[in-house]
Amino acid sequence: MLTALSIRNVVLIEALDLEFGDGLSVLTGETGAGKSILLDSLGLALGARADSGLVRSGEAQASVTATFDAPGVGHRALELLTDNGLEVEAGEPIMIRRLVKADGGSRAFINDQPCSAALLRELGAALVEIHGQHDDRGLLNPRGHRILLDAFGACETATVAVAHGAWRAAEERLIAARAGVEEAARDRDYLTHAVEELSRFAPEAGEEAMLAAERATMQKGARLADDLSVVADCLTGSDGGIARLRQAARRLDRIAGEHPVLTLLLEALDRALIEAGEAEDRLGEAAEALSFDPARLDAMETRLFDLRGLARKHQVQPDDLAALRDDMVGRLASIEGGEAELAALEADVAAKARAYRVAAQALSAQRLAAAERLDAAVAAELAPLKLDAARFRTVVEPLEEGQGAAHGVDRVEFTISTNPGAPFAPLVKVASGGELSRFILALKVALAQQGGADTLIFDEIDRGVGGAVASAIGDRLARLAQSNQILVVTHSPQVAARGAGHMLIAKSSEGTVTRTGVHALDASERREEIARMLSGAQITAEARAQAERLLETQ
């Protein structure tokens, strides 16, 4: 609810501070007093285009501040602020401030936090609905008609939204699976060939290191073979060192008893023979360890070369070839499994699409029933508003195939026919200014309690009517004011008399300076203003009496 409006240096308004209560507040004043300036100021705070022409002559800037009660939990205004990163504490009022410079440019703030004009427009639409003869938002915008009808008819939309989400999620899974199967199928021939090649080769983890080590050993044996042969000849041949040592030992053995030194010599030769025997054993071991088969070495080098070539071909390390083969085998298997999975996913998509269509059709039936009730409710309001020749119809028609969404498969639009036999058409394209305002009022009354902004502003909704029609308008505004804050700019005394609060907009001049001011009227001032509205410039006793009767009967 709008609680306060502060205006500085906007056209004829130098400084103005207004407070508003709940219920129905009326604003009256003579033609040209500045009622439009007041609404333009509020519109500026709610995100309207910032025009430097609004700045009062001689001033550097204009400002408008609008304050609203703290919105309740779940209110669209709170969602907008939270989604845009603006902090508003629970129970804290919303204060919107807009500055416009005389040399162009503007700034906007929400609770002293800078914001964009786009956010201001969204927030303003959530807080206030302004209905005038040139209004193209609110009830005149077909984009909101479906939401209003659903709220009016208490239509079950959540089930359709959930079913639609499940259907789309199933479709996304199917699309992803198809892409995977198609990609795998494109690689089928390559995978088949690669698996066959790797399976024939049968690489093993660690094989490269094993082959490389064995090859190095065999290559070393090939390189040392000649040297080992020479060493063997020197040691073990018929004329080798060991044979000669044994021959010498046998001779010494026969003569060792002849002298102690010979005995010592024989002992040394025996030790040498023992060491030589160990050397002979080591030589044998070395020959065996370094022995090689040329054919085996050639085969080993060929496999090592092929192993490394396969690794380069598949851009992996040689030790990873075995795992790569297993992965390719799995991918080939997934092609067959994926095709089976596709069938299951397609069946799931079809089932969820059917569930969505069933839910959407049930919602369409609810909307058609709600449309009939809404048409009847609006029709009941038209005759008292002098629109008895007009007809209202809520159009609920199916969207084109494939255009269904989370909100269902229907397009909803409010249409009217203003004369018997005339075709139905959108509100804004058919009704005249006065008719349009009254149609909006009839709709708002029929849609009371069905969402929308908490504050409604009607600009000269009673233009061109009087008497019983004006009374009917006042009555309906008062009924709306039971659930909403209503501000109405009016020229009708019948409407003005229904207000819980009454403000007079007046223009005054001091020399060359003209100002627009707003004054909250007390009971006696209010009677005088309504009398003026009844009689014109010359207020008569009869007008005062009639004003008194209007006030008493409300």
pLDDT, averaged across the chain: 84
Give the mean pLDDT of 433-455.
75
User: Residue for token digits 């036999």?
Assistant: 421
Candidate ranges 171-175, 176-180, 272-276, 471-475; pick with highest mean pLDDT: 171-175
Question: Residue 90: which residues within 8 A CB-CB, separation 6 or more?
Answer: 70, 73
User: Residue for token digits 């009689």?
Assistant: 535
Q: Which residue has the higher pLDDT, 529 or 215?
A: 529
Question: Structure tokens of 64?
Answer: 């408008």
Percent pLDDT > 70 in the chain is 91
Runs of H (alpha helix) within 63-187: 76-83, 117-127, 145-153, 158-186
pLDDT value of residue 472: 87
Runs of H (alpha helix) within 389-492: 427-430, 433-446, 467-480
pLDDT value of residue 237: 66
Q: Looking at the predicted structure, is the pLDDT value of residue 527 above 80?
A: yes
How many whole angstroms separate alpha carbon 132 and alpha carbon 177?
54
The pair phi, psi for residue 472, each rounded to 5°, is: -65, -40
SS (H, E, C) 153-202: HCCCCHHHHHHHHHHHHHHHHHHHHHHHHHHHHHCHHHHHHHHHHHHHHC
Longest dimension (CA), the chain: 176
Query: Could you tell me if 495 and 462 are in contact, meaning their C-beta atoms sit under 8 angstroms apart?
Result: yes
Give the mean pLDDT of 540-546.
86
Give the mean pLDDT of 493-522.
86
Q: Which residue has the higher pLDDT, 405 or 185?
A: 405
How many whole angstroms separate alpha carbon 441 and alpha carbon 463?
13
Domain extent listing, the chain = 168-340
pLDDT value of residue 68: 93
Task: Please give the radius of gyration of the chain, using alpha carbons only, rounded to the nearest integer.
Answer: 50
pLDDT value of residue 134: 47
How many whole angstroms separate alpha carbon 442 and alpha carbon 368?
20
Kind of pairing between the strands at 24-28 and 501-510:
parallel
Torsion of CA 312, 315, 320, 324, to 10 degrees: -120
Give the mean pLDDT of 218-238.
67
| 39-53, 221-235, 378-392: segment of lowest average pLDDT | 221-235
Query: Could you tell me if 112 and 105 are in contact, meaning their C-beta atoms sit under 8 angstroms apart?
Result: no
| 9-18, 323-332, 443-452: segment of lowest average pLDDT | 443-452
Torsion-angle region of 70 (φ positive above 0: left; ψ -120 to 50: alpha; else: beta): beta
Question: Residue 477: which residues within 8 A CB-CB, separation 6 or more?
Answer: 24, 441, 458, 461, 486, 488, 495, 498
pLDDT value of residue 376: 93
Among residues 493, 499, 466, 496, the alpha carbon closest in space to that of 480 is found at 499
**pLDDT band for position 398 (50/70/90)?**
very high
Question: Structure tokens of 101?
Answer: 């410079």
Give the mean pLDDT of 50-70.
89
Q: Is 137 helix (H, G, I), strand (E, B) or coil?
A: coil
User: Residue for token digits 């255009």?
Assistant: 403
| Cα angle 14-17-20, degrees, rounded to a multiple of 5 | 145
pLDDT tens digit sequence for 104-154: 889 999 998 999 888 998 898 888 888 765 454 557 778 888 988 998 888
End-to-end CA distance of the chain: 24
Q: Looking at the predicted structure, is the pLDDT value of residue 293 above 70?
A: no
**pLDDT band for position 292 (50/70/90)?**
low
How many whole angstroms separate alpha carbon 174 and alpha carbon 172?
5
Give the mean pLDDT of 472-493.
88
Give the mean pLDDT of 254-266.
79
The pair phi, psi for residue 511, each rounded to 5°, is: 65, -120
